[in-house]
């Protein structure tokens, strides 16, 4: 029996999710249909799309820009959120609590939301052989992308985290908010600073901003160095990675994170574990 999945976004035509999940299905030997779903940018339209999809027998949905916060709100209303989604304040993976549906609860009240982005990042970094346990990590950016990876990084056993952002108050407010939301984060020593003030030696430096997608570059100090540098963006030459490669760091873009978070979504929906390394190699060779 074919299992049906969608990814909801606006815009959505560029999404690589159908290709990735179709490869996962071939790897695990199950039959799926995975489609891109455009949705007008408002909560009512998003809810209508979800109701129609799940009423029609849909199994699971991915959520991308600009709907991750709306998806979070939908799930928060009925308490159906994973710990990672609660801390991230965003949902990228949706499924139904089937027991609630069978008991007659409306679909919009039976949604369960997860956020697999941060664990996808962590899994990719570990697959590269980079050390996270006991590591000194610098995270540049204090927006949604950064917020979603902080808890998984701490769970991976990093020793110290510094969050740098152009506006210092935004980084400081993020730490205060997340410390109140998670005991795990509260117990971690986290420093904040302006991006221009980030300096010294780190094991891993992660760019969680989208600045690499434009012609702009981050205002990095000449005294900032890292053994490893990771940019969560992908698909083009990234100045952040060029900068640290020239300084001798091992580098990686976020393509492996994309596949890693998708693999976790697929596992949540189907129960099948993906060989991410094999899938990444196959997709890179296409």
The residues carrying an active-site annotation are: 68
What token pair was written down for 229?
């540098």
Strand partners, 161: 137, 190
Q: Count of alpha carbons within 13 Å of 221, Cβ hemisphere only?
A: 17
Identify the DSSP state of 211. Answer: G
Q: Give the span between the Cα atoms of 88 and 82, in whole angstroms.
A: 10
The edge-to-edge listing of strands for the beta sheet with 224-231 is: 190-194, 160-165, 136-140, 200-207, 224-231, 250-252
DSSP string, 62-90: EE-TT-HHHHHHHHHTTT-B-HHHHHHT-
Place of tokens 């030459």: 237
Contact 32, 21 (CB under 8 A): yes
CA 157 to chain centre: 18
Judge whether 50 and 21 are in contact, CB under 8 Å.
Answer: no
């Amino acid at each position: 029996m074919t299992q049906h999945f969608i990814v909801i976004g606006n815009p959505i035509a560029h999404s690589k999710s159908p290709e990735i999940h179709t490869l996962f299905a071939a790897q695990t030997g199950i039959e799926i249909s995975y489609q891109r779903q455009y949705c007008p940018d408002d909560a009512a339209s998003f809810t209508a799309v979800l109701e129609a999809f799940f009423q029609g027998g849909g199994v699971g949905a991915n959520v991308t820009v600009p709907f991750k916060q709306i998806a979070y709100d939908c799930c928060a209303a009925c308490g159906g959120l994973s710990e990672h989604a609660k801390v991230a304040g965003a949902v990228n993976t949706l499924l139904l609590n089937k027991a609630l549906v069978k008991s007659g609860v409306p679909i919009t009240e039976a949604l369960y939301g997860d956020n697999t982005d941060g664990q996808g990042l962590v899994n990719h970094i570990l697959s590269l052989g980079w050390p996270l346990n006991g590591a000194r990590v610098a995270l540049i950016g204090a927006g949604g992308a950064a917020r979603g990876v902080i808890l998984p990084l701490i769970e991976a056993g990093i020793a110290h985290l510094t969050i740098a952002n152009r506006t210092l108050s935004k980084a400081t407010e993020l730490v205060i908010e997340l410390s109140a939301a998670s005991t795990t984060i509260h117990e971690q020593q986290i420093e904040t600073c302006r991006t221009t003030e980030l300096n010294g030696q780190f094991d891993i430096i992660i760019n969680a901003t989208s600045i690499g997608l434009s012609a702009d570059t981050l205002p990095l100090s000449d005294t900032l160095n890292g053994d490893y540098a990771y940019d969560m963006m992908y698909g083009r030459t990234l100045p952040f990675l060029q900068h640290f490669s020239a300084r001798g760091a091992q580098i990686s873009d976020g393509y492996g994170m994309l596949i890693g978070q998708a693999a976790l979504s697929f596992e949540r929906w189907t129960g099948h574990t993906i060989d991410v390394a094999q899938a990444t190699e196959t997709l890179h060779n296409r």
